[in-house]
Amino acid sequence: MLVTLSEERIEAIDIDSSGETGGIADVVFTRILDEIIEGQTLNVDDISGASVTSKGVLNGVARAVRQAGANPEALRSRPKAPSALDSEIDDNIATSNTPAATGDGILLGQSVGADLVGMGFSQMIPVSDPVTGALFTGLQVPPANFIMVNTKGKRFVDEYGSRDQLSQAAIDNGGLFYLIADENIKETAYNTSQEKIDAQVEAGTLFKANTLEELAEQINIDPATLVETITNYNLYVDAGHDPEFDKGAFDLKVEKAPFYATPRKPATHHTMGGLKIDTHAHVINEDGKIIKGLFAAGEVAGGLHAGNRLGGNSLTDIFTFGRIATDTAIAEYLD
């Protein structure tokens, strides 16, 4: 690594990456270096699936700064680069939601002066159909049975991670990836039937083969790479430890034919923002006052889930604040 410094800034970072495997390492050697120089900061997030390489780059730059007589801790305390605050996604990104979900409740609230909160936060679901955004195509299995490989046949993330972690890792790897399964893992799928599976295989939206090598050829992946990836994964299941990505939980190995590959890609799924409410479900206007007679509960309201909603928590939100809104309205207008 060669770090070029002037009196006031980091001017350039050059790394000889000839000894590194392509793919996710390429992302490290572009995005992390760009963010360091753009923001003149070491406050840079690791790349999902390449945390060791990411930390190596950041520590290397920190050592160079220290050797030049400057303080790397000062750079670590600086804000992130502007480009680090937003991830670029395709303009034609799909959504898991119904076409009827167009935010009409938010527009209705705004028409009478309602304030909004958290409108900058949206959530992606990582395991959506790459064309339609639908959740219930292919083989959707419990996360302990997720084996996610990129278009080069390699795992790239702890598959038991949170939705935002998995989505970001997928985006960093080009978006499209595959969930690999065998016959045993297929039996844990909660969204399908053999009839649906056969129809999707026939349509070419789900891939099935008697060997991993044949499966790899169907999805244009090097067979040896996919076999190595799955062999290593099976060893990690036996050992109960994933030295590559420290997967949080394991269940089944990939070992019984036939084998399956479900193409997946992140899609927009949930917006954390919405109408501002108080603890009694009153809608609040832009002056911070209650809008008389207007209540909100569920996904039309914002501020409940901060920047990242936990899966299933919208149901708690709906039932809890729906009941609170009802109790408040009864107390204020009927008692």
Q: Which residues sit opposite 116 in a β-bridge? A: 275
The per-residue pLDDT for 49 is 60
Average pLDDT over residues 186-215: 94
**201-210 pLDDT, tens digit each:** 999 999 999 9
Average pLDDT over residues 271-285: 94
Helical (H) or strand (E) element with 167: helix 163-172
Average pLDDT over residues 143-170: 93
Residue 63, pLDDT > 90, answer yes
pLDDT tier, 320 (very low <50, low <70, confident <90, very high otherwise): very high
pLDDT tier, 237 (very low <50, low <70, confident <90, very high otherwise): very high
The per-residue pLDDT for 87 is 61
Q: State the amino acid at position 51 in one-letter form.
A: S
Residue 194, pLDDT > 80, answer yes
Residue 106, pLDDT > 50, answer yes
Residue 266, pLDDT > 90, answer yes
Average pLDDT over residues 24-34: 74
Mean pLDDT of the chain: 89
Average pLDDT over residues 113-122: 86
Cα of 186 vs its chain's centroid, Å: 23
Q: Which residues contact 113 (CB under 8 A, 6 or more apart)?
A: 285, 286, 287, 291
Choose among 148, 278, 262, 117: nearest CA to 201: 262
At 217, list the tokens: 């050829």
> At CB < 8 A and 24+ separation, what contacts does 196-199 make?
197/139
Q: Are 250 and 144 in contact (CB under 8 A)?
A: yes
* Stretch among 22-31, 48-57, 75-84, 301-310 having the lowest mean pLDDT: 22-31
pLDDT tier, 16 (very low <50, low <70, confident <90, very high otherwise): confident
Percent with pLDDT over 70 in the chain? 92
The per-residue pLDDT for 257 is 97
Q: Are 266 and 175 in contact (CB under 8 A)?
A: yes
The per-residue pLDDT for 85 is 46
Average pLDDT over residues 37-60: 83
Reduced to 3 states, what is the DSSP secondary structure of residue 294? strand
Catalytic residue, candidates 155, 163, 264, 309: 163
- Count of C-beta atoms within a 10 Å radius of residue 30: 12
264 is catalytic: no
Q: Which residues contact 52 (CB under 8 A, 6 or more apart)?
A: none
Residue 254, pLDDT > 70, answer yes
Q: Are 102 and 271 in contact (CB under 8 A)?
A: no
Task: Give CA–CA dist 287/24, Å, rounded.
Answer: 48
Average pLDDT over residues 58-79: 90
Q: Which residue has the higher pLDDT, 27 or 235?
A: 235
Residue 51, pLDDT > 90, answer no
Bridge pairing between strands 148-149 and 259-271: unpaired
Q: Are 208 and 200 in contact (CB under 8 A)?
A: no
Reduced to 3 states, what is the DSSP secondary structure of residue 143? helix
The per-residue pLDDT for 79 is 78
Spell 217-232 as b/e; 16+ CB within 10 A means b: eebebeeeebbebbee
